[in-house]
Amino acid sequence: MLNFKKLSLVVPVALIAGTLAACSQPGSNNAADSSSTTSSSSSASNTNNNDVDNSNAGSPIATVGNDNNTLQNNPSAKRALDRLIKAQPTPQRDRIKVLNTDLQAKLGKVALPQVTGLGQGSENLNIAYTGNHNNYTINYTVGDKPLAFNSPAVTKQNPYAVLQKQTFNSADEAKKQISYIVAEDAFSGMPVTGLKSGITAFYDQGAGHSNLYWNEGNWSLGVKANSLANQKPDPLAHQVLDWLDQYFLPAPKSVGQISFNSTITPRMRDQVIKWQDGNIVFTLTAHDPETAVKMAASIR
C-alpha cells in the first residue's frame, strides 16, 4: 500500500497560515455567502428506526462514530479522539473550548468540533453563528487577534470552515439532501483502480476533469482533480483513506457523502463532508480536506 506524505497533497502549514490571514480580511465569496444563511427547515421530529437504512452497516467507517455511546464502548475511538484533541497546543485547545461553551449556552446541548483542524494561528480562532438548536450555521474564522464570541466583526471575515445543522420532518426527507452515489452502478463500465483494504474505485473522466468515486460502508466518497493542470485524483484518494484509518468520523444514519477537491483554492470552501442522522443533516465545508476530516472527526 502506498503512503503519501501529507504535504504532497495539502498546502504546507506556512502557506495555509498565509491563506488564513487573507481569509480573515473583510469580504466574502459565493461559497461564504451561500453558507452563512441558516436553513429555514421544519422543526425537529422523532425518527423511527425503521426509516433508517442500515444495509451497509458492516464497515468500520459506517458503524464507528464519535458519539458518547461509541466513545464509552470503543476504546480505539476514544483514544483517537483524545490524540486529536491533545495534538493541539494548549492555547488552541483553550480557545475552542471557551467558544464551544459560549455556543452551547446559546444553542443548547449540541455536538461541536473539539479541534480547529488547523496548525499555526488558530489560537486566534473566532466564531459567529446564526440559528437555533434545530437549525444553525456556525462560521469558523481566524483573524489577527481573538474577538468576542459572535462579534459583528467576525461576520466580516471569510470562514475557513462552516458547520451547518438542518432538521427535516422525516428521515426520508433528510436522506434526499445527501448526494449518495453507488459508484459501481453510476460508473459501470468505467476504468477502475484498487485502493487499500480491497476497495475498488471508479474513474469518471471527461474534458478538464478526472474524478474518482467509491463507497465504504454508508459513505459515498469522491475526489475531483483538474486534468488540465495534470492533476490525478489517486494521491488524494489514498490520503483520504489514510486519514479515515486514523480518525473516526460520525456514523451516518443512514447515509453520508465526502466530496473533496485536489485543488486548494484560497477563500473557497469546496471540501465537503455531509451526513444524515435520522431526520437531521450535518454539513461541514472547509478550505482544506484534512481540516474538514479533523473537525468532523472531533465532533462530540
222 falls within a domain: no
pLDDT at 57: 34
198 falls within a domain: no
For residue 148 the three cell numbers come to 468576542
194 falls within a domain: no
Q: By residue range, what is the domain housing residue 275? A: 6-180+234-297
pLDDT at 281: 98
DSSP 140-159: EEE-SS---TT-TTGGGBPP
pLDDT at 197: 86
Residue 273 to residue 294: CA distance in whole angstroms: 11
195 falls within a domain: no
Residue 5 to residue 21: CA distance in whole angstroms: 25
Q: Listing from the earlier edge strand, what are the strands of the sheet with 136-142?
A: 125-131, 136-142, 161-167, 280-286, 271-277, 256-261, 219-224, 209-216, 200-206, 192-194
What is each CA distance from 117 to 10, 125, 153, 188, 276, in whole angstroms? 13, 11, 22, 36, 22
- Total domains, the chain: 1
Q: What three-state secondary structure class fits 192?
A: strand
197 falls within a domain: no
157 falls within a domain: yes
Q: What three-state secondary structure class fits 83?
A: helix
pLDDT at 71: 55
Give Cβ neighbours of residue 72 (< 8 Å, ≥ 6 apart). 78
pTM to 2 decimal places: 0.78
227 falls within a domain: no
The pLDDT tens digits along the chain (300 residues) read: 332 223 233 333 333 334 444 444 433 333 333 333 333 333 333 333 333 333 333 334 533 444 555 555 678 888 999 999 999 999 999 999 999 999 999 999 999 999 999 977 688 999 999 999 999 999 999 999 999 999 999 999 999 999 999 999 999 999 999 999 999 999 999 999 999 989 999 999 888 889 999 999 999 999 999 989 899 999 999 999 999 999 999 999 999 999 999 998 888 999 999 999 999 999 999 999 999 999 999 999
**In which element (H, E) is residue 256 found?**
strand 256-261
For residue 9 the three cell numbers come to 497533497
